[in-house]
Structure formats: structure tokens, C-alpha cells
Amino acid sequence: MRSKDLKMPETDWVLLAMALFEATGFLLLAFFRGFDIVPMILAVSMPLLLAAQALLLRRAYPHMDGYILLIANFLCGVGLIALYRLDPDRALKQLLFYGLGVLVMLAMTFLVARGTLLRRLRLPVMLLSLGALLLTLLIGEENGGAKNWIDLKIISVQPSEFVKVALVLCLALDLSEKRTVRQLLPVGLFAAGCVLLIVLQKDLGAVLICFLTCLTVYYVATSNWLLALFGLACAAAGSAVLYRLFDHVRTRVAIWQNPWDSPQGSGYQIIQSLIAIASGGLTGLGLGLGSPDVVPVAESDFIFSAICEEFGIVVGLVLLLLYVILFARGLLLAMRARSSFHALLSVGAVTSLALQTFMIVGGVIKMVPLTGVTLPFVSYGGSSMLSSMLMLGILQGVSIAVGQQDESEWRLARAREEAQEF
């Protein structure tokens, strides 16, 4: 075995297929609703962006995880195609955030790979998160029953998206070294504070994600399944209380149980989503031939049903598989990590992303009650895109750290073996 074996097997064909997929999608859109030059440009630039990242970044940083990189960028590309078909203006905005997201991802990657700076950032990050959440409560704007937006004149921000990233970072930092109750008090308070503030914002999707992420990271760090189970029980009790307390939680559950009760009223969204998916069937109606705009908020919460309608269930299932591969890579990374800090980081990032994906996809197909969260990388929304990219950056940073360690240790082992053979 030579050191070449440490590198990824070739993924060029996959890269080519992904590039072709994106190019075809945008090319079609160029002729949809009359000729349009913008998608023509995108048809060339998007695959180039994908290829540039996959080839250049991997060359510069051989320990980055190529699969995760490819999959996340491809998902962004598919999301942009679906968005452009729904609403070109929003798609262009999203394109901006995608570009910004790539930069943010790189920054996060180095932050995590270096590690030392992160420890110093812990306190500021905590305070900033809590402050942003508090601010949202005070001057936030309501949107679909949840008060989770801050309007900053130029752009609106959804702080709860970024708090997820902060939670993952702080949990991993503290849980990797500290074990006693008193040592864990600050991070515990921080997590509880975040969850509570998001509960007050009535952003239940984010609450669930944050809470379950905390529990998972705590369990992985301490193996204390008793307390984790207790936490789960608390979550169940808490949901029951929330169910009693909040009207819109009750409605959501009622809609989930039987949306056909009021197909024109509260059940409208979910029913239209189901109809859209069913209309597409296995192969889809063809890009631009369906009417995904019938489903309300098709561009963010219901983008998965919009994709299923026009691309078909097969493509929808493939997208789900891509998510699974991404998450599995992240968790395998955690299993290879030497230090618990890195392991916890990637477990946290994966858990948060996976829960979010599960909740929204399960929601639009009526498997679980709908919670208004976005589909990572695909849905429209700047905050969501940036926070997904930050999570991606965490995974890449861990990948670099683990890869470097692997390689140096492996080299040492080889050298030792060769020395022995003499």
C-alpha cells in the first residue's frame, strides 16, 4: 500500500454526471417561458463552480471529504434549478447566498481544523447567540405562527439557524473535556437558554432540532444513556405541554392526523403537497410542466414536493440517498476521530442536519406533523443556506484534522514496519 491509497477513489464520473444534471436543468429553463439568457449563463457557471470546488479544493486540501463536498454542492444546484423554475428573482438571491455560503464554509473549515482559535471564541459565540435570540423576541417578525425573523432593513435574518451551529460548537468544546455537573453548568445553561428562547419564539422545528442535537451529543460524549433517556422523556413531556399551551401546535397535529378534514383550509398546504408528489409519479411531469407553485411556500418548506412533482419520485429518493451518504460520511468521520472534540463536532453537525432533513421531508409526505424547517442546502433562505454551509464547514474541518492525523500515524507505522524488515 502506498500513500496514494489514502486518497479518495475517483469520483470524476459522479462529478461529470452532477455537472450534466445541473447544466441540463438550467438549459431547459432557458427555453421555459420564452428564451432567457440568465439560465444559459448558469448552465455553464454552476457546473464550473461545482467542478472547481471538487477539483481545486481537493487538490489543495487532500483531506477534505470529497463526497460531502460534491453532494452538498449538487444539492444546492438542484435547489437552485427548482427555485429558478419557481421564481427567478429569488433564485438569483439564493445564488448569492450560495456563493457566500462556500466562503463561509471554507472559513469554518479552517477554524475547526486549526482548533485553537475556536476555544477562545467560545464565550463570545455563546453571548452573541443568546443576545440574537433575545433580540428576535423583542423586535422579531412573525412568520407562519413563529416569531423567528429579524428584519435588518437590507436582509432578514433567522437567528435560530445560526444558534444551531453555535450549539454544536460549544457542546463539542465543553463535553470533550469536562464531565462534572459544575463544569458542564455553563454549556448546559447555554443550551437550556437557547431552547427556552426558541420555545418562546414558537419555532418548534428549531426547538426539536436543538434539543435532540444536545441530547445526542451528550449521549455520545458520556455514554450516559440513562440521562439521555430521561432527556427524551422530558422532551415527550415538554411536547405534551407545548401541545396544550400553543394553539398552532394543536392545529399542526390535527392537520397531520387528517388533512382531508379541511382540504381548502388548514389542510390545504399538505394536501397540495401530496397531490403534487402524486401528480409527478415515478418519473415526474418534466421540468416546467407541472404546477408546483400551487403549493404554498413551495420555494422553502415544500421544495421537496416541488422537486418530486417535476423530476419524479425516483429523483426524490435519490436526493434522500445523497443526504444519507452525506450524514453517514460525517458519522464515520466521528468514528475515526482521535479526539473526542472532533468526534463530537461531527456528530453534532450531522445530527442537526439529519433531523432537519427528516422533519421536513417527513412533513411534506405526511409521515410526521409538519414543522416549518427548511431542507438543508436546497430550500430558499439565506440564513438556512449559510447555517447549512457552516455545518458543512465543521464536517470538512474535522475531516482535515482526522485525515492529517491518519496520514502521519500511518506513515509512522509504515516506517516502523520497514525498519523491522531490515
Residues 357-386 that bind another protein (CB under 8 A): 358, 361-362, 365-367
Query: Is 338 one of the binding residues for another protein (CB under 8 A)?
Result: yes
C-alpha grid cell for residue 328?
Answer: 453517514
Residue with cell 476521530: 337
- State in angstroms the smallest separation of the CB of 141 from another protein: 30
Query: Is 116 one of the binding residues for another protein (CB under 8 A)?
Result: no
State which of residues 139, 196, 236, 335 lies at the interface with another protein (CB under 8 A): 335
- State in angstroms the smallest separation of the CB of 138 from another protein: 36
**Overall size of the chain counted in residues:** 422
C-alpha grid cell for residue 173?
Answer: 468544546
Query: Quick check: 146 and 135 in contact, CB under 8 A?
Result: no
Query: Is 343 one of the binding residues for another protein (CB under 8 A)?
Result: yes
Site residues for another protein, window 235-274 (CB under 8 A)?
263-264, 271-272, 274
Alpha helices (runs of H) in 224-339, residue ranges in sequence order = 225-245, 247-257, 268-280, 303-311, 313-336
State which of residues 110, 278, 297, 356 lies at the interface with another protein (CB under 8 A): 278
State which of residues 89, 247, 417, 421 lies at the interface with another protein (CB under 8 A): 417
Site residues for another protein, window 168-187 (CB under 8 A)?
177-183
Residues sharing a CB contact under 8 Å with residue 359, sequence separation 6 or more, in sequence order: 205, 208, 209, 368, 371, 373
Cβ proximity to another protein: between 53 and 201 the closer is 53
Task: Give the dihedral of Cα atoms 166, 49, 8, 388; nearest 10 deg.
Answer: 20
Alpha helices (runs of H) in 87-224, residue ranges in sequence order = 88-114, 116-139, 159-175, 181-200, 204-222
Query: Is 4 one of the binding residues for another protein (CB under 8 A)?
Result: no
Query: Is 58 one of the binding residues for another protein (CB under 8 A)?
Result: no
Cβ proximity to another protein: between 71 and 210 the closer is 71
Query: Is 275 one of the binding residues for another protein (CB under 8 A)?
Result: yes
Gap between the Cα atoms of 47 and 16, Å rounded: 9
How many DSSP H helices and E strands does the chain contain?
Answer: 16, 3
User: Using CA of residue 285, residue 287, residue 292, residue 298, what is the dihedral sign?
Assistant: positive
Angle at 347 between CA 52 and CA 380, to 5 degrees: 50
Query: Is 75 one of the binding residues for another protein (CB under 8 A)?
Result: no
Query: Is 216 one of the binding residues for another protein (CB under 8 A)?
Result: yes
Query: Is 221 one of the binding residues for another protein (CB under 8 A)?
Result: yes
Q: Give the CA count within 13 Å in the CB-facing half-sphere of 218.
A: 23
Distances (CA, A) of 180 to 88, 169, 184, 187: 53, 19, 6, 12
Q: Contact region for another protein (CB under 8 A) — 19-27, 49-57, 103-111, 132-140?
A: 19-27
Amino acid at 333: L
State which of residues 54, 329, 373, 390 lies at the interface with another protein (CB under 8 A): 329
Q: Contact region for another protein (CB under 8 A) — 47-55, 92-100, 164-172, 316-324?
A: 316-324
- State in angstroms the smallest separation of the CB of 16 from another protein: 9
Query: Is 36 one of the binding residues for another protein (CB under 8 A)?
Result: no
Angle between helical axes of 204-222 and 340-364 (0-180°, round to 10):
150
Query: Is 35 one of the binding residues for another protein (CB under 8 A)?
Result: yes
Site size for another protein, by CB under 8 A?
Answer: 105
Query: Is 167 one of the binding residues for another protein (CB under 8 A)?
Result: no
